């Protein structure tokens, strides 16, 4: 039998510019930043086009991300109802991660819904917390320092005990409607990045504290992937922090939205998506 050829798209993705010499920063409320970017054309391979045997190796521990089928009881605009998300979707995510990853306990510390602009309009360069658009710069949500601090920020008197066991931060990302064609999510295989050269700690300055993310520099050794025509049941798990560093274990997932030029000739609704950020514990 002939072997199918993996399919891919080429897209321009903004990466951290080498011209940024001081530590990058962004203010969470205003979006003010000293970050400068440079765009690179990257090949992004469609996970749907890979054979099952190859797909099985893309897990949160091997590649940093994992594609899992999961149907939510919430549909469409229900994901924009804050109370429904917290009271109904959060428990779904808790049960889903316990089953999929073998977690013993989770703590969901926030979620973000995003809407792409109408067809023909570019992404806004401003920051509107009430209407978040897809984030189209390569990044990682947490550094190891920030990930470890999240436990103490959210878990109170249990933090010290839980932090002695294995802890992860996992982003549960799904479309609200689908298929997504205009601004899919691209993820980089951790095995193809060089943490020493590709990742730059970046301050995320909140009104009362300072967190830390990674900005990502471009490297032609990096391999990027996406899900063509991703639908609401096509869930991506993105590892953003891992407390137990072991040889061969993925510690994080660089990711970014990208504009898919193929969508210019297709019918679609502008992207709507939700991401839930979760502390995942393997001890109680």
pLDDT at site 120: 79
At CB < 8 A and 24+ separation, what contacts does 21-24 make? 23/201, 23/202, 23/203, 24/200, 24/202, 24/203, 24/215
Residues 71-123 have pLDDT tens digits of 999 999 999 999 999 999 999 999 999 999 999 999 999 999 999 999 878 88
pLDDT at site 127: 56
Measured CA distances, 15 to 91, 110, 182, 235 (Å): 35, 26, 20, 25
Distance (Å, rounded) from C-alpha 191 to C-alpha 239? 13
Q: Where are the domains of the chain?
A: 8-281
Mean per-residue pLDDT, 269-274: 96
Residues 215-225 have pLDDT tens digits of 999 999 999 99
263 band by pLDDT with thresholds 50, 70 and 90: very high
Residues 174-188 have pLDDT tens digits of 999 989 999 999 999
What contacts 217, CB < 8 A, 6 or more positions away?
Answer: 15, 16, 18, 197, 198, 199, 200
Residues 22-42 have pLDDT tens digits of 999 999 888 899 999 999 999
pLDDT at 202 exceeding the cut of 50: yes
What contacts 78, CB < 8 A, 6 or more positions away?
Answer: 84, 85
Q: What is the pTM of this model?
A: 0.95
CB 240 within 8 A of CB 147: yes
The matching CATH number, chosen from 1.20.1050, 2.60.120, 2.60.420, 3.90.550, for 8-281 is: 2.60.120
């Amino acid at each position: 039998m002939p072997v199918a050829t993996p399919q891919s798209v080429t897209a321009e993705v903004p990466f951290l510019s080498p011209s940024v010499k001081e530590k990058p920063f962004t203010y969470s409320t205003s979006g003010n930043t000293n970050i400068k970017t440079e765009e690179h054309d990257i090949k992004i391979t469609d996970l749907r086009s890979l054979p099952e045997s190859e797909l099985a190796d893309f897990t949160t521990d091997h590649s940093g991300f994992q594609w899992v089928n999961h149907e939510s009881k919430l549909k469409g605009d229900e994901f924009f109802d804050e109370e429904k998300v917290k009271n109904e979707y959060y428990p779904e995510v808790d049960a889903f991660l316990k089953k999929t990853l073998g977690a013993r306990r989770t703590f969901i510390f926030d979620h973000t819904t995003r809407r792409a602009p109408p067809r023909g309009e570019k992404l806004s360069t401003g920051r509107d917390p009430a209407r978040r658009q897809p984030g189209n710069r390569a990044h990682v949500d947490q550094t190891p320092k920030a990930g470890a601090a999240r436990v103490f920020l959210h878990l109170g008197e249990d933090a010290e005990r839980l932090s002695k066991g294995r802890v992860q931060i996992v982003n549960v990302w799904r479309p609200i409607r689908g298929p997504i064609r205009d601004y899919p999510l691209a993820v980089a295989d951790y095995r193809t990045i060089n943490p020493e050269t590709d990742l730059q700690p970046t301050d995320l300055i909140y009104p009362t504290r300072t967190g830390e993310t990674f900005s990502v520099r471009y490297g032609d050794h990096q391999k990027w992937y996406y899900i063509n025509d991703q639908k609401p049941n096509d869930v991506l798990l993105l590892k953003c922090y891992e407390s137990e560093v072991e040889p061969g274990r993925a510690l994080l997932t660089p990711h970014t939205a990208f504009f898919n030029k193929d969508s210019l000739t297709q019918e679609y609704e502008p992207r709507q998506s939700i991401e839930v950020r979760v502390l995942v514990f393997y001890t109680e």
